[in-house]
Amino acid sequence: MTIREAKIEDIQQIQKVRNSVTENTLSNPDLVTDKDCEEFITKRGKGWVCEIDNQIVGFAIADLKENNIWALFLDPKFEKKGIGKILHKTMLDWYFMQTKKTVWLGTAFNTRAEQFYRKAGWTEVGTHGAKEIKFEMTYTDWKKARTAN
């Protein structure tokens, strides 16, 4: 298993993982374009991938422009192996090295992702749109969560 920074050449496999998930699915896969992915990993922030046997099985992308976690997804066949935790830690360590601003994310209600973020130390602060919970992580909370895990 290798965790490394995402590259433009990874976008096709990133999209494959994004569209393989069974929760937090896109109503229309065309809503997230290859150009969007490229912008988020090269201009707005940074992304990371997890590779196993030269196949991307998970990825995470942080957006510095909106102080947002844009994506953290795993191929369902590779869930419950600790990959999400490693990608999450890598991404937030990088994010808080760039800025101390509070970061936020939205995820669907009653999902494994919701439980994952609660367990990882995120604080629910309301809703994002009609269909998502909004979570925030402060720099101080990240330092605490990092030492607790």
Mean pLDDT value across residues 46-58: 96
Query: Do residues 122 and 106 touch, judged by C-beta distance below 8 A?
Result: no
Which range marks the domain in which residue 93 is found? 2-148
The token pair at 102 is 């509070």
What whole-number distance in Å separates Cα of residue 38 and Cα of residue 46? 10
Residue 19 CB contacts under 8 Å (≥ 6 apart), including other chains: 25, 26, 29
Burial of 135 (0-12, 13-18, 19+ CB in 10 A): buried
pLDDT > 70? residue 27: no
pLDDT the model gives residue 149 = 63
pLDDT at 32: 74
Radius of gyration of the chain measured on its C-alpha atoms = 14
pLDDT digits (tens, 9 = 90+) for 68-95: 999 999 999 998 899 999 999 999 999 9
- If one counts the domains in the chain, the total is 1
Higher pLDDT, 92 or 31: 92
* % of the chain at pLDDT higher than 70: 93
- Quick check: 26 pLDDT over 80? no
How many C-beta atoms lie closer than 10 Å to residue 86's C-beta?
A: 16
With a pLDDT cut of 90, the percent of the chain lying above it is 78
Residues 86-124 pLDDT 10s: 999 999 999 999 999 999 999 989 999 999 999 999 999
Report whether pLDDT(128) > 70. yes
* 29 pLDDT above the threshold of 60: no
CATH number at residue 55: 3.40.630.30
> What's the whole-number average pLDDT of the chain?
91
